[in-house]
Amino acid sequence: MNKVVENAEKAIEGIIDNMTLMLGGFGLCGIPENCISALVNSKIKGLTCISNNAGVDDFGIGLLLQNHQVKKMISSYVGENDEFERQMLSGELEVDLIPQGSLAARCYMGGAGVPAFFTPAGYGTEVAQGKEIRYFDGKPHLLESALTADFAIVKAWKGDTMGNLIYKGTARNFNPAMAMAGKITIAEVEELVEPGELDPNFIHTPGVFVQRIFQGVNYEKRIEQKTVRQKA
């Protein structure tokens, strides 16, 4: 079994206008940089993007927003992206803001074949509008539906040709749950290895969830907030 494709351009083949994509990452940490570049170059538009954030103005999903390739964002936090905030407030961009834990669970459940679940997050808030409320142990919960995507695009540290993935540090974040929820899941990795080179005990995403994999190039790995301490 070999799921390897040549590069990001080949990996995104089949993504067309108006599709729904999941993109892993938290802020700029663990984002699929190569595929985002390929999408920017592709000019594909009308996309619905499910991603915790939308990058910053000039990097990550922010690049797709600047190009007006995104019709709708489903996210939990838009804090550091002025263009996102501007497009949302002006109504150019449709935005569904949902609690971060509900977002993660909705992706995980989408991949796990659970169509909906109850969570307390968002009860009594705008998020609860139009959602079924049910009490468990006397506490109100919202019915949240699972999310799936035409394509899920994730970034891992190492992967093998069968699609097994290992992430590094907090670059893991949304990638494992989203990898499960794509009809087609694309993984870009920093290092692509042969089967047997990854210890099966330490694989985070089993290859069964991944359909295409490639070794990315020229990772920038930008840091949003460089915070350091001085040596005493």
Partner 1 sequence: MLDKKGIAKRIAQELRNGWYVNLGIGIPTLVANYVPENINVVFQSENGILGMGPFPYDGEEDADMINAGKQTITALPGAVIFDSATSFAMIRGKHIQLTVLGAMEVSQNGDIANWKIPGKMVKGMGGAMDLVASADNIIVAMMHTNKRGISKLLKACTLPITGVKCVKKVVTNLAVLDITPDGFKLVERAPGVTVAEIQEATEGKLIVEGEIPEMVLE
Binding positions for partner 1, rule: CB under 8 A: 26-30, 52, 75-80, 85, 88-89, 97-105, 107-108, 119-127, 157, 167-177, 204, 221-231
We find the least distance from the C-beta atom of residue 134 to partner 1, in angstroms, to be 14
Cα(139)–Cα(227) distance, integer angstroms: 40
* Strand partners for 27: none
Specify whether the CB–CB gap between 107 and 180 falls below 8 A: yes
DSSP state of 72: E
CA 111 – CA 117 distance, rounded (Å):
13
Residue placing its CB nearer to partner 1 in the complex, 68 or 139: 139
CA–CA gap between residue 33 and residue 60 (Å, rounded): 7
Which residues, in sequence order, are bridge partners of residue 215? 189
Residue 215, H or E segment:
strand 212-215
Strand-pairing partners, residue 214, are 188
Distance CA 84, CA 174 (A): 20
For the bound state, the minimum distance from the C-beta of residue 43 to partner 1, rounded and expressed in Å, comes to 28
Decide whether 123 or 195 has the Cβ nearer to partner 1. 123
Closer Cβ to partner 1, 9 or 157, answer by number: 157
Q: How far is the CB of 147 from partner 1 (least distance, A)?
A: 12
In angstroms, what is the minimal distance from the CB of 84 to partner 1?
Answer: 9
The minimum distance between CB 205 and partner 1, in angstroms, equals 9
What is the spatial distance between Cα 131 and Cα 142, in angstroms, rounded to a whole number? 6
In this complex, which beta carbon is closest to partner 1, that of residue 64 or of residue 103?
Answer: 103
Closer by beta carbon to partner 1, 8 or else 147: 147
